[in-house]
Structure 1
Amino acid sequence: MQYDPIKRSLGKVFNRSPFLRILFYKLLDLLLLRAWHIRKEIKSWSKKIGNDINVLDAGSGFGQYVYFISSLNKSWKVTGVDVKTEQIEDCNRFFGKIKRDKQVCFKYADLTKLGEENLYDLVVSVDVMEHIEDDEGVFRNLNMAMNNGGMLLISTPSDQGGSDAHHHEVEHEDGVTGFIDEHVRDGYNKQEIKQKLQKAGFKDIEVKYSYGWPGNISWKLSMKYPIIMLNLSKVFFIILPFYYLITFPISFILNIWDVKGQFSKGTGLIVKAFK
């Protein structure tokens, strides 16, 4: 079961116009529970800071979170970095079309060799660290790149299932192999990631579970089962709107529950750390 081919197919459809791409961002914000958690934490953080802010999206991908952050405050300068040059070029074109190229820029950067110092007040890393072997090196580089008092916000799979993420083919009891197969680790232990961040120089570290039991059910309804269907046949693209018409109200309630609740276990982690 592969996620990236489906993501590329959807990206091609929604990239035909700025309106469709913005619509795609909005849909992702609704469907992806991690986006709910990230938006909540950034909004909470934004109430305590001013306008002269520099933000880094470390692993910006399709630009979903750069769009959200740049919409939150027009005075913030937002930089997105990624190792995929085609995504960097695509994002620069899109943000140019919507007249945000003076506020936003995308550039190539290998986080293991970042080499920037004292630039950013907020660094966001969403589902990136599980792809990088030298995570401790990246944490050191991000710490170096941040201003004193800056916040690092991470979303990453936990070691309690990691949203079915596996870096090699592992078959589960239900016969389904890993949902995403390019991870270098199956997820972080809460104490492990906290210790690595402390070692890199961060303080006031808060680690909490996301995708608790409500979020796990929501993820299966809103992401896992649709992706399974789309991998079987592209015909399911036609059926998908009707599927979401039935399931989304349930996922919506479960997402609210997951964001507002505190859980003793979960397949994701939301991490806040300060320099």
Structure 2
Amino acid sequence: MRKVKTAKSKVLEEGYIKIYSVLSPKEKRQIFFNREYKKLNPSWDNTHIVLCSLFDRAVSDLSHPLKVLDAGCGNGNYVIDEYRDKISRAFGVDINPEFTGKNICLDEIKYGNLEKIPYENGIFDVVISMWVIEHLERPEKVFLEVSRVLKKGGYLILATPNKDYFLLRLKEVLKNQKLNFFVNKFLYDRGESDVFTTFYKANEIKVLKELLYKTSFSDIELKLNYDPGYTSFNKPSFFLSNFFDRLLNGLKPEFIKAHIVGMARKKS
């Protein structure tokens, strides 16, 4: 277990999608094109902003003070950064201390497998899971654990890759290590140490919804969300990506939208 002495989120750069940590050049590129896309499409929101909206809705329906768990916390959580002043206590669970060294937004981090979350029954108002579900070999067991540690009426808020997104489909079809390295390094800006085994066992909306219902969740809201940052390297590729998003949105949206985002409520 690690106690974080200075659990405080600090904004380094204001703007649409605030910056809370030092970014790599590729992360800056992704943020830039997300901001540009927002200017052109005011009704759209980046996945982190969507998650914040969901969190806002959830906490308006809950009593205070709030206790929040980040399941698979890694080095940080945008939603907790944004709402740190409204969260009385923020906790995290991850598999290994080496993955959480830069995390300063939580009060406490425990280490272990999400199939056995090291917290008592019914103590959290909200559990947040960002970019974790794709790594779960037994997602049903993890959702049962999340349900266990949530209070009745508490919320799970989540974001995960969409299995049908064309880049993931391409990786699956080719099963090529070099292509995997390209996608992880040049699109997602992840080195070998940041890439964990993926199973994608709950990364389709229909499958994910069924698993959530099965593990004592209701009021399930899931949707696909577009992210222009993955395929925008310059202005021509930015506009080309957006063209294909508009073209496919009414035909096969799951092919062009990279993320599944949503929330579910533990049955009372």
Normalising by structure 2, what TM-score? 0.64
Compute the displacement of 1:123 (Å): 0.7
**Contact 1:115–1:141, Cα closer than 8 Å, also in 2:** no
Corresponding residue for residue 96 of structure 2 = 84
1:191 pairs, out of 193, 202, 206, with 206
Q: Which residue matches 2:148?
A: 144
* SS state at 2:206 partner: helix
| Stretches of structure 2 lacking an aligned partner (at least 5 in a row) | 1-9, 14-18, 36-45, 185-194
TM-score (norm: length of structure 1)? 0.63
Per the alignment, do residues 166 and 76 of structure 1 end up closer, same or farther by CA in structure 2, a change over 3 Å counting?
Answer: farther
Matched with 1:274 is 265
Aligned residues: 213
Task: Say if 1:209 and 1:269, in contact at 8 Å, map to a contact too.
Answer: yes
Distance 1:44 1:24 in 2: 29
**2:64 matches 1:51:** yes
* 5+ residue gaps, structure 1: 1-16, 96-102, 227-242
Give the letter for the 2:51 counterpart: I
- The aligned counterpart of 1:22 is 20
CA distance in structure 1 between the partners assigned to 2:265 and 2:123 by the alignment? 14
Cα 1:166–1:36 change in 2 (3 A) is: same
Shift, 1:171, TM fit: 3.2
The percent identity for this pair of structures is 21
Deviations 1:21-67, CA, capped at 9 Å, x for gaps: 83548968775932122122112323333431110111111113332
Q: Distance in 2 between matches of 1:166 and 1:186?
A: 14
C-alpha change, 1:141 and 1:166, in structure 2 (3 Å) is farther
Kept after mapping to 2: 8 A contact 1:125/1:153: yes
1:207 is aligned with what amino acid?
A: L
Contact 2:158 2:262 in 1 (8 A): yes
8 Å CA contact 1:56, 1:120 repeated in 2 = yes
Quote the Cα distance in structure 2 between the aligned partners of 1:109 and 1:263.
Answer: 42
Moved more, 21-30 or 139-148: 21-30
Contact in 1 for aligned 2:124/2:154 (Cα 8 Å): yes
AA in 2 matched with 1:139: F
Q: How does 1:215-254 map to 2 (within 5 A)?
A: 215=227, 218=228, 222-226=229-233
Higher helix proportion (structure 1 or 2): 1
Q: Give the Cα–Cα distance (whole angstroms) in 1 for the partners of residues 99 and 170 of structure 2.
A: 23
Contact 2:76 2:102 in 1 (8 A): no
Q: Cα distance 1:52–1:263, how it changes in 2: closer, same or farther (>3 A)?
A: farther
Which residue does the alignment assign to 2:42? none
Q: Contact conserved, 1:70 with 1:104, CA < 8 A, in 2?
A: no
Cα RMSD for the two superposed structures: 3.9
